[in-house]
Structure 1
Amino acid sequence: MKIIKYLFFLLLIVVIGGAIYFATQDGSFDVAKTRTINAPAEMIYNNVKDFKNWETWGPWMTQDPDIELSYAEKTEGEGASYSWLSEVVGDGSMRIVKVIPNEEIEQKIVFNSPMGDSESDVYWKFQEGDEPGTTKVTWGMKGEQSFMEKVFMSFQPDNFETMLGDMYSDGLANLDTVVTEAMKAFTINVDGLTQHNGGYYMYNTTSAKQSDIGMKMGAMMGQVMGYMQANNIAMNGMPFTLYNQIDEANGTIIFSACIPIKDRVITPDGSTVVSGLMEPVTALKTTLKGNYTNLPEAYAQAQAYLSKNNLQAHPTAKMFEVYMTDPSEVPNPADYVTEVYIPVLIPEEN
């Protein structure tokens, strides 16, 4: 009996000692991971802000394919929430408490377990990356572990910070893949022959290697727009590029960045921005929905259409592209719309 008594006291000492040990351990945590994604902040924010999108990149989806998700009526914006049931990652819920569009999201996460419920703060930050067009995305969680959580985690092969950090790293990598793939989507439609009415436009002109056109185009359009604003000249349509001369042997192109206007404008001598007139023209119209990097494929399909239908490109009329969307207002390049016009010769009727 004395041995049992001594064992009992020894066990009691171990339990009390363990309780004191775990109770005095610092349970506070703040774990965050950052990844630079080659996409605008608005596009990434638009994906993260809606809980329904998390199914496509959430790291717990691979940990438990059978996880049960339930969504509230509101899934984005302040007050939005969803919950889950899982035998692998546990049960829980999350709600959004604050948003600063394209910059920050703050959330509350609650884990339900036999040891009781625990609540922590989840945060997202979307910051401009070091390279143009990139975004530093930070995903983190901070809070305080309960006594039982500290006990439980002490018996795990990895500590809590490592487990949470790995999960967030995996989630950001998945998000990167989803966003990048979404930006690659594009469609091309050869619409057929159309009559373009032409009209007056303001423009400036330069020559460049074909690979440098996109880099120069933005600055040139900005120069034309700045001139128009300074002189109270209103736009009368969407901006377009006019291809004046293509030197395939040297890979150079002389092109103009143009903005339509209603009436002719006479500019001062020496002005780099001048006014021009496009005559009405019959052209093959092709519509690209997607990033401008897909324009070569749009031209290839247009040329194939010309050959198939025995149509001949006009030898002197100039090809042009009309940009139907403003990239500053459309975050996903997959939603850009560009109309490509190739003027054609119309056979004279006998």
Structure 2
Amino acid sequence: MKILKYLFFLLLIVIIGGAIYFATKDGSFDVAETKVINAPAEVVYNNVKDFKSWPQWGPWMEEDENMKIDYAEKTEGEGASYSWTSEAVGDGSMKTVKVIPNKEIQQEIVFNTPIGDSKSDVYWYFEETENSGQTKVTWGMKGEQSFMEKVFMSFQEDDMETGISKMFASGLNNLEEVVKESMKQYAINVDGITRYSGGYYMYNTTAAKQSEIGDKMGSMLGQVMGYMQQNNIQSSGMPFTIYNNIDEANGAVIFSAAIPIKDRVITPDGSPVLTGFMESTTAVKTTLKGNYTNLPEAYEATKKYIAENNMEMNTDANMFEVYATDPGDVPNPSNWITEIYIPVIQKTKPEAL
């Protein structure tokens, strides 16, 4: 009996000692993972702000494909929420409590476990880097473990911080892939024959390799815009490019970066920015929704349409493309709109529109 008594007291000491150990053990945590993604902040933010997009990149979906998700009526912005049930990862819910568009998201997450509910804070930061078009994304969670959570996690293979870190790192990698794919999306539609009204425009011209057009276009349009602002000249439409001469054999082109204006402007001698006039012309129009890198495919589709519809290209008029969206206002390349116009001569009388 004395042995049992001693064992009982020994067990009691162990239990009390363990309770004191876990009770005094620091249960606070603040875990975050950071990744630089080659995409504008708005594009990354748009893939995170709505809970309905989370299954596309959320790491927990890899743990349980049968997870059941219930969305609230509001799934983005302050007050948005959703909940989930899963045999593999447990049940829980999340709510967005603060949003600074393209910069920050603050959320509250609740895990429903057999040892009680656990609430923590989740945070996102989207920061521009020194390199244009890159975003430093931080995803973190902080909170305080309950007594039972500290006991439970002490017997797991990974501690709580390690588990969260692995999950967030995996999620950010998935998010990067989703963002990349979202920016690659494009669509080409040959709209058909149209009559372009033409008009006056301000422009400058240069010669370049075809591969250099995109690099030179921005500075050229900037020069035209600067001249117009200095002289209080208002634009009457979106910027466009005129292809004056194309040397397919050598991959070279002479092109003009232009901005339409309402009336003729007489520029001084030696001005790098001039005034031009485009005659009204019949052309086949094609709309590209997507990155400018898809323009060659769009031109091929337009030329194929011309050949298949008994038309030929009008060599007395220049091809041109109009940029209906400003990349500064529309950061995701998949949403850029470019209108392509190839002047044509109809061999047969067209049907009435």
Provide TM-score, normalisation by structure 2: 0.95
**Equivalent residues in 2 for 1:135-214, closer than 5 Å:** 135-214=135-214
The one-letter code sitting in structure 1 at the alignment partner of 2:27 is: G
Q: What is the match of residue 20 of structure 1?
A: 20
Q: What is the match of residue 52 of structure 1?
A: 52
Q: What is the match of residue 68 of structure 1?
A: 68
Q: Distance in 2 between matches of 1:33 and 1:129?
A: 16
Q: Distance in 1 between matches of 2:122 and 2:44?
A: 17
CA deviation string 1:207-235 (max 9, x = no partner): 22211211111121122112112212111
Q: Distance in 1 between matches of 2:177 and 2:224?
A: 37
Q: Distance in 1 between matches of 2:181 and 2:230?
A: 40
Q: What is the match of residue 308 of structure 2?
A: 308
Give the deviation of 1:336 after TM superposition. Answer: 1.1
Give the deviation of 1:344 after TM superposition. Answer: 1.5
Q: What is the match of residue 299 of structure 2?
A: 299
Q: Percent identity?
A: 69
Q: What is the match of residue 85 of structure 2?
A: 85
**Equivalent residues in 2 for 1:1-350, closer than 5 Å:** 1-347=1-347
Q: Distance in 2 between matches of 1:71 and 1:285?
A: 42
Report SS of the residue matched to 2:310: coil
Please report the RMSD computed on the Cα atoms of aligned residues, expressed in angstroms. 1.5
Q: Distance in 2 between matches of 1:228 and 1:348?
A: 42
Aligned residues: 349
Report SS of the residue matched to 2:313: coil
- Point out where structure 2 has 5 or more consecutive residues left out of the alignment: none
The one-letter code sitting in structure 2 at the alignment partner of 1:97 is: V
Q: Distance in 1 between matches of 2:210 and 2:5?
A: 89
Q: Distance in 2 between matches of 1:267 and 1:55?
A: 57
Q: Distance in 1 between matches of 2:161 and 2:31?
A: 6
CA deviation string 1:264-304 (max 9, x = no partner): 00011111111100011111111111111110100111121
Q: Distance in 2 between matches of 1:130 and 1:154?
A: 42
Structure 1's consecutive aligned runs of 4 or more residues displaced over 3 angstroms after TM superposition are 346-349
Structure 1 residues 24, 256: CA separation in 2 closer, same or farther (over 3 Å shift)? same
Q: Distance in 2 between matches of 1:224 and 1:103?
A: 33
The one-letter code sitting in structure 1 at the alignment partner of 2:68 is: E
Larger CA deviation: 334-343 vs 84-93? 84-93
